[in-house]
A = this chain, B = another copy of it.
Amino acid sequence: MRPRDIKVLILGVDGYIGRALSIYLKSKGYEVEGVDDFSRRAFVEKIGSASLFPLPDASEIQFTSVDVFSEIDHVIKYYKPDVIVHLAEQPSAPYSMIDAQACVDTQIRNLSSTLNVLWSMREHCPNTHLIKLGTMGEYGDWIYERIDIPESSRMELLHVDDNDWTSGIPDNWISVDIPTPKWAGSFYHWSKVFDSYNIEFACKLWDLRATDINQGPVYGTRTRDMKGNPETRFDYDSYFGTVVNRFVVQSVLGIPLTVYGKGGQTRGYINLNDSVKAIELIIQNPPKNGELNVVNQLTEVLSVHDIAIIVGTLTGCEVGVVTNPRVEREFHVYNPIHTKLKKMGLVRPRKMVDVIPEMVRDVEKYKENIIEDVILPKTNWRK
């Protein structure tokens, strides 16, 4: 379909990806509407930080809380979008581990926003394509040390009644099609697992359709549409700043890059520009009604140690170590299948090594805005 015939509603348009996506889709000719309740600004303020880049005027954005049903229902009812891109969630794992209130707030906000959107779609636009930002962190179970992470909500395994397989598999095996096993490492990541289940259940029950994007950490200061200064927010604190953004800020300050523990934590990364391109490809490739399509959105698999080496090499910055505040494995195998976006047309993604210099230049311009003491972690997940 031609972009100008597609009405896209972005929930959470004031966020890091939301802003960039809105600019990108408009430049391609899509009809775009965005809503936000500016809670990301409030969250980041609460932990004593702020976006490094000045935030653009918010007046063009409709103020709507996605976690208040009547508000989001009103928007969906009157705008009747062809596509809803749902980015309106609390996105920080460390934030969800601060205390009971932050934990409960994260799960309530995230689950209720997604449920509200689903109920509203059921009522007003059951053919709309819901695109929901999830996370690769839904696959934290240790079985993925031994098998590849699938790109599907179901997986086929074998069941054998006999538990003693020392002399091989007995004849009474059957194949079983099970929900892809999930396990999360923070209450935030669990909220995304729960969202995924609620969405898949609603797709089956009400014949809705959705794409669940399991995204790796996103990094970057701009998309290629941004010609002058960066036009989206940029967080580098220990709660809302992902590792690459933090390392770039540390390199600009000339302070050591703080690797958590041994640095073997391996994830699939994607640049901001490829992240919004991927969302456009997903808009153009909707699933059928009744289906949930799962897409693993990543372009490079790297360990924290690898990233420190890349940033250190490019900037001359020293690599330091801090005690890991998280409860996580510091060395592990990580083999996520990610073929769907390639098939849709996401080719020649930007490499982290090519993006870092641009990030350093952008951050340099706002160096005097950096608040140094928000960078080191303050929340210990264990206790």
Residues on A lying within 8 angstroms of B by beta carbon are: 69, 73, 99-101, 103-104, 107-108, 111-112, 115-116, 119-120, 122, 141-143, 146-147, 156-160, 163, 165, 169, 173-179, 181-184, 187, 190, 193-194, 197-198, 201, 205-206, 327, 381-383
A-B contact pairs, 11 of them (CB 8 A): A100-B119, A104-B111, A108-B112, A122-B383, A141-B179, A157-B159, A158-B165, A158-B169, A187-B198, A205-B381, A206-B382
Known pairs A69-B104, A104-B115, A206-B383; A176 contacts B197 (CB<8 A): no
Chain B neighbourhood of A197, CB < 8 A? 184, 190, 193-194
- The interface residues of chain B lying within 8 Å CB-to-CB of A141 are 178-179
Q: Which residues of B contact A383 (CB under 8 A)?
A: 122, 206
Q: A160-B158, A169-B169, A205-B381 are in contact. Are A183 and B179 (CB under 8 A)?
A: yes
- Min CB distance A179 to B, Å, is 5
Residues of B within 8 A of A116 (CB): 100, 104
Output the least CB separation between A202 and chain B (Å): 9
Tell me, rounded to whole Å, the shortest Cβ–Cβ distance linking A379 to chain B: 13
Please indicate the chain B residues that have their CB under 8 angstroms from the CB of A99 in the complex.
119
Q: Are A119 and B146 in contact (CB under 8 A)?
A: no
One of B111, B143, B173, B176 near A177 (C-beta < 8 A): B143
Are A112 and B122 also in contact (CB < 8 A) when A165-B175, A190-B197, A201-B190 are?
A: no
Given the interface contacts A176-B143, A176-B146, A327-B205, does A115 sit within 8 Å of B119 by beta carbon? no
A126, closest chain B residue (CB): B383
Which residues on B sit within 8 Å (CB–CB) of A173? Answer: 158, 169
> Which residues of B lie under 8 Å from residue A111 when comparing CB positions?
104, 107-108, 111, 194
Q: How many angstroms from the CA of A190 to the CA of B194 in the assembled complex?
A: 8
Which chain B residues lie closer than 8 Å to A147 at the CB level? 159, 174, 176
A107 proximity list for chain B (CB < 8 A): 111-112, 115, 198
Contacting pair B143 A100 (CB below 8 A): no
CB neighbours of A100 from chain B (8 A)? 69, 73, 115-116, 119-120
CB nearest to A179 among chain B residues? B181
Q: Is the CB of B156 within 8 A of A163?
A: yes
Chain B nearest CB, measured from A109 CB (Å): 10
Nearest chain B CB to A24's CB is how many angstroms away?
Answer: 31
Among A104, A165, A169, A173, the most chain B Cβ lie within 10 Å of the Cβ of A104
A327 to B290, CA, bound (A): 14
Docked pose: A155 CA to B224 CA in angstroms = 47
